[in-house]
Structures are given as C-alpha cells and as structure tokens.
Amino acid sequence: MSDSFDLVVIGGGPGGYAAALYGAGAGLDVAVVEKHKLGGTCLHVGCIPAKELLETAAVCRTVASAGEFGINSSAPTVDMNKAQARKQKVVEQLHRGVGKLLENRKVTLVDGWGSVRSSSGTDLTDLTVAVAGGASGEMQLNARYVIVATGSVPRTLAGFEVDGERIMSSDELLSIDKVPERVAIIGGGAIGLEFASMLCDLGSQVTVVEALPQILPGVDADVSKALVRAFKKRKIQVRAGVSVDGCSQTKDGVELQVAGGESLLVDAVVVCVGRRPFTEGLDLEPVGVQVDQGGYVVVNDFCQTTNERIYAVGDVVRTPQLAHVAFGEAIMVIKHLLGEPVAPVDYDRVPWAIYCHPEVAYVGYSEAAATDAGFDVTVSTHRYMGNGRAMILGETDGLVKVIAERSADGSGGQILGVHMMGPWVTEQLGQGHLAVNWEATAAEVAEFVQPHPTLSEMFGEAVLSLTGRDLH
C-alpha cells in the first residue's frame, strides 16, 4: 500500500465516504481512515435503522386499521427480534454497497484511529495522518490534503446515566428487543419525535418533554401546532416549554422529575437532546486547526479550516447535522481544493425531513423567520382534508404552507419557504426545494400542471392561491 495520497479522509460516514467517492471520481488518490464500520452514524445507528423501524411501525399501524378498508384481520403483534433482523439486513446490504463503491473507485481503506500531524514539525501544511488502534496496524499516511469527517455522538444529560435498558440514547433504542410499556422522550426535535411516533405505533404509552416552547423549532409554527394536535389524537402527550430536573430509579420504573415539582413514572427514558461533535484524539490544534468551545471544528464558507490544507465536513462543524448536508459539503470541498468554481452550501435552504407520523418536511423560511428577516410576506395554506389522494389513503391530517414575498401586482412573488405536514411529505418536498433554491416566483411555479389525483398537487394548489386565484 502506498503511504502517500492526494487526500486522506478521517472518518467513513456520509461526509467522509462522499468526499472519498467524489474525490476519487475526480482523479485523486484517496485513503479513508475508519475505526468502525463504513457508513457512520447515519447507516448504523441513525437515519437508516431509525427509518427501518419506523417502517415496521407503519406496517403495524396499517394492519391495525385495515378494517376501515374492508380487510378483516386480527390485532397485530410485534416481534422485535424479527424487526431487528430485517433492520440489520438492510443496514448490512447498504454497508456492503458503500464498501464496494469505494473499492471500485480504488479508494484505499485503512482500519484504525486517525490523527493529524505535521511531517516537518514547522510547516503545518506538510501533513501526515498517524493511524493506530485498528486492524491495519500503526502507520503514517502522507497527505496533500486532509478532510476531517469523524461525525458525532449522542449528547447526554446530567443525572441521566445511560444504562441501555431503563435510560437510553438513540443508539440503544435502535437495538431494543422489547417495546417498553411507558416511555418518556426527552427532546422534541426530529430524533425525539420520530422515536415517539415509532414507539406509539408499536404499543408504548409515550410522553415527549421539550424545554423549548415549540417542538421542531425550525419548522413553521402552524406545522408544529398541527403536529401536536395529530400526536394528541394518537394519545402521544407533548409537553413543550417544560424542563426536566432529574430522575430516580425505583422497582416500578424510572421516576422523571419535571420542573414545577411534577413527576412522571415510566418504564424507560430516551434522551434525545442532540448530538455533539466527535473530535477526541485528532490532535488538530498543533497543526493550526481551531476548535471552538463546543468541540466543533472552525471552518470558513467552504469548510476549510484555519489550516488551508485541512477541511472538515459533517457533524464536526456547526452546520445542520444532516447526512445530505454532509454530502453537499463533501462535494463542495473536493471542488474547492481542486480549484474548480463552486458556491458555498446555502444552509438556510437545505431540505429537512422528519419521518414521524404524520411526516414533516420543510425548506427555507418559516412565516415568522421571513417576517423577522424584513420580507413583506404573504402565505397560502392548503389542508389535506380536501385532497382526493389523501382521502383514498385515509390520511387527511396535515397541511402545505407556502411562504412568499408579496408582489406589487399580486401575481405572486418569490417563494421563500415551503413547510409541510402530512402523508409522505418527505417525498413531496422536491418541488418546494427546487422553487426555493431557484428563487422562483409563485407566478412562475403556478404555470406548471400538477398530476391528479396526487398528494403533490397540494403544493401546486397552494402556490396557485398566491397568484390571487384559486382552483379548489
């Protein structure tokens, strides 16, 4: 194996393997250093296993309501061992696929922990990645460029020591073999709400506790409120604007202390308060890379660190912790280090997808954020209760809200944001994502003919209303 590479990537998650694939495709000689499995958090303890178990929950929910469609069936029961086996089969298939892609593009894989060094000791752009602690043994990889993509780990709360049974993070919950009867989810962000929805469908009694006044703080307030109402119908309790003071374990379960002296007895607590960057052991400061007090690597608009030869992508930088954002950053970095024309990632316009039931998806400004930014705003909201396809599916709970800049002639100004809740909205956001990022006007988008009957025509209807004339 060569010990000199154009690019050494530390970390084989979405940002790392995307950078390696794109860089190798551009002709670079690339090595990836990874101690655990390729695919990172997203593939093994994040996006993919979570959505697999959410699909298991959706099948359970569908069977339970089959009688509404004239299909007679007994009440479904859940075999978590089979569900976990199916989840793992999907994960392993994708894991092998990533490895094969890297192999086909001649990317060198190195098993171990990577840390950055200066080969000369004085020239901080003369880089070496030291590898240790893995199957590849100790070695030094000379690198023209280095990309740090070591990802993140779950944040914890003081007083909530994770034991994997009664108190869990997202990592442990994704491997449960038994569904707890009563669950408290601490955190009303995307991860917490997906788990709340999944556990409810699998038979748990669920309470979500969120310290902020609104669940999903980035989404439009109307969508957040609609989701709370939808959860209430499913008997998921949402306690927003409430903090937790600690917990104690008893023979009957875990007693959660909520601010104000209230207590809540559950069988399990799932801590979903975000993730922190994993930068331990990288030795970045000696090679001129600045790390902030939160542990995030400091970068410029092109994810270049304070050492011009070192970049950082994904969860280790202060950008949205989304796999597709890491993909975008990886592509941008490769183009930047090759000297090709490239624009920075516009983080205000990246799409968000939350796979709870009903689903939530959004891009761009909420109504409040657009107003705060100084726009003269007009909005259009259409609800799925009037959509034929939603009625056929039996899922009419939800809405599509389009936020646009008001035009002088009333024909529909620039579309600033699209926020949705309802059936399969994570698959419907594409039109809104393109409209926002291409800075299209409502008048321009309204010209497109939407297919009928579809869920996606809701976006077209909402945009058409912004031109001053409705259809339905």
Please check whether residue 146 is in contact with residue 7, taking contact to mean a CB–CB distance below 8 angstroms. Answer: yes
Query: Which residues pair with residue 266 across a beta bridge?
Result: 254
The number of C-alpha atoms within 13 Å of 355 and in the hemisphere containing its C-beta is 18
Kindly state the DSSP code that residue 164 receives in the 8-state scheme.
S
Among residues 318, 313, 293, which one has the least CA distance to residue 303?
313
Q: Is the backbone peptide bond immediately before 453 cis, with ω within 30 degrees of 0?
A: yes
Q: Is 468 left (phi over 0), alpha (psi -120 to 50) or beta?
A: left
Choice among 44, 95, 433, 452 that is catalytic: 452
Active site residue 452: yes
Among residues 359, 355, 292, which one has the least CA distance to residue 322?
355
CA 442 to the chain's CA centroid? 28
Cβ neighbours around 464 below 10 Å, total = 25
Among residues 61, 146, 68, which one has the least CA distance to residue 334?
146
CA 371 to the chain's CA centroid? 26
CA pair distance 226, 232, nearest whole angstrom: 10
CA pair distance 307, 293, nearest whole angstrom: 18
Q: Which residues, including other chains, have CB under 8 Å from residue 418's CB and lie 6 or more apart? A: 362, 363, 364, 400, 401, 402, 403, 429, 431, 432, 433, 435, 436, 459
Sequence letter at residue 283: D
Among residues 108, 116, 83, 94, which one has the least CA distance to residue 37?
94
Please check whether residue 275 is in contact with residue 152, taking contact to mean a CB–CB distance below 8 angstroms. Answer: yes
Active-site amino acid positions: 452
